[in-house]
Amino acid sequence: MAKGIWVFTEQRDGEIKKVTYELLSAGRKVADSLGEELCAVLLGKGVSGLEGKLGEYGADKVYTVDSEALENYTTDAYTNILADLAKEHQPTAILLACSASGRDVAAQVAQRLGTGLMTDCTDMALEDGQLVFTRPVYAGKAIVKAACPEARPVMATIRPNVLAADAPQAGRAAQAVPVGGNTGDIRQVIKDIVKQISTRPELTEADIIVSGGRGIKGPENFALLEELADVLGAAVGASRAAVDAGWKSHSFQVGQTGKTVSPVLYIACGISGAIQHLAGMSSSKCIVAVNKDPEANIFKVADYGIVGDLFDVVPLLKEELKKLLA
């Protein structure tokens, strides 16, 4: 019988990502309602020892595969191990982060297990004993609730920052289950890895994002936003207009053809608010817009707006926030 709610641990360089705790916290509630156990799957190199943390956030059991071959994520190695584990233990559900690797492994494993996969979910609930997932589709212009009625496990990837992480319970332990794990033949051979070196948080994980658009006028003026971002510990983003103009690389782009973000605070500077941009950030909790054009679409979704020249407003805002946060 299928048993267990599984959370696939999102870790990088031995550090567990916050989204994992969000998934564990939500998974805990589902597991309790169903009377099943909550398990984490932890893959990587040198990750043994992280089980305690997962326990504190609610995991009953942690299947750990600690191997040299898992140092960097590869589709085949991670797919082979996760699929084998799932075949062996037949969990009810597997929850993953909607990250590059989470999405990647989820698709392969879902197909290998012949099951359904709901991606990019923003909520999860038990309705009449069935796990129901909420997913924004059409770039957030519609919302679908979906379920996987028969095939098991139910699989889903969930956006970072959309579920709340409960406070950790110090000392709550998980049963560590070390597993050998067979990576199989890894057909994706890594030749090189370039890490984006930035002291700022990653866009998709950041709590605060300061974003710039056409109104920034040139690449050099992003410095203004970076200064504001650094005061807030925020990430910097850009609209498609700014990326197309070549002022920022595509990895900074927020929107339908860029990244989807859900920070606590999104500060849009000189962004008109094209529907494609809104698609990528309208699930932010609080939106601030600074724009010269009082008719700019962004004001339609902003919680707070200042109609004014960002070149005046942003430096002043930075100083005010600095004072407040000092």
Partner 1 sequence: MKIVVLMKQVFDTEAKISLDGNKINKQGVSLVMNPYDEYAVELGLRIKEKFKGEVTVVSVGGPEVQDALRQALAMGADKAVLVDPGADEIDEYTTATILAKAIGGLEYNILLGGFKAIDDGSCQVCGRVAEILGVPVVNMVTQAEVEEDKAVVTCDIDGGSAVIEVKLPAMLTAQKGEIEPRYPSMKGIMQAKKKPMQKIGLGDIGLDAAQAAPKVKALSYSLPAARAAGKLVPGEPAEAAKELARLLREEAKVI
Partner 2 sequence: MIFKLTEEQELLRKTVRDFAEKEIAPKAAEMDEKEEYDWDLWGKMAEMGLSGVPYPDEYEGAGMDNISYAIAVEELSRVCASSGVLVSAHTSLCAWPIYAFGTEEQKQKYLVPLANGEKIGAMGLTEPGAGSDAGSLKTTAVLDGDEYVLDGSKIFITNGYYADIYVIIAATDRALKHRGISAFVVEKGTPGFSFGKKEHKLGIRASATYELVFENCRIPKENILGKEGEGFKVIMKTLDGGRIGIAAQALGIAQGAYESALNYSKIREQFGKPISANQGIQWMLADMATRIEAARLLVYQAAWLKDNNESYSKQAAMAKLYAAETAMWVTTKAVQIYGGYGYTREYPVERMMRDAKITEIYEGTSEVQRIVIAASVLK
Binding-site members for FAD are 214, 239-240, 253-257, 270-277, 291
Q: Least distance from C-beta 281 to partner 2, angstroms?
A: 19
170 vs 189 by CB, closer to partner 1: 189
Binding mask of the shown chain, residues 101 to 120, with x at each position contacting partner 2 by CB under 8 A: --------------------
Whether omega before 153 lies within 30 degrees of 0, making that bond cis, reads yes
- List the binding residues: 214, 239-240, 253-257, 270-277, 291
Asked if residue 32 binds partner 2 (CB under 8 A), the reply is no
Interface with partner 2 in residues 234-293 (CB under 8 A): 244, 293
Among 48, 75, 276, 297, binds partner 2 (CB under 8 A): 297
Q: Are strands 5-8 and 38-44 parallel, antiparallel or unpaired?
A: parallel
Q: Least distance from C-beta 274 to partner 2, angstroms?
A: 12
Residue 155 phi/psi, 5° resolution? Answer: -120, 145
Q: Least distance from C-beta 218 to partner 2, angstroms?
A: 14
3-class DSSP state of 74: coil
Element housing 110 (H / E): helix 100-112
Element housing 29 (H / E): helix 18-34
User: Which of partner 1, partner 2, none has residue 293 at its interface (CB below 5 to 8 Å by kind)?
Assistant: partner 2
User: Which of partner 2, partner 1, none has residue 87 at its interface (CB below 5 to 8 Å by kind)?
Assistant: none
Length of the chain in terms of residues written = 326
User: Which of partner 1, partner 2, none has residue 33 at its interface (CB below 5 to 8 Å by kind)?
Assistant: none
Q: Give 253's DSSP letter.
A: B
Q: Least distance from C-beta 294 to partner 2, angstroms?
A: 10
Asked if residue 295 binds partner 2 (CB under 8 A), the reply is yes
User: Which of partner 1, partner 2, none has residue 280 at its interface (CB below 5 to 8 Å by kind)?
Assistant: none
Between CA 113 and CA 87 the distance in angstroms is 8
Q: Judge whether 119 and 106 are in contact, CB under 8 Å.
A: yes
User: Which of partner 1, partner 2, none has residue 297 at its interface (CB below 5 to 8 Å by kind)?
Assistant: partner 2
Between CA 107 and CA 91 the distance in angstroms is 17
Residue 93: which of 52, 125, 48 has the closest Cα?
A: 125
Element housing 287 (H / E): strand 286-291
Residues at the contact surface with partner 2, assessed by CB under 8 A: 244, 293, 295, 297
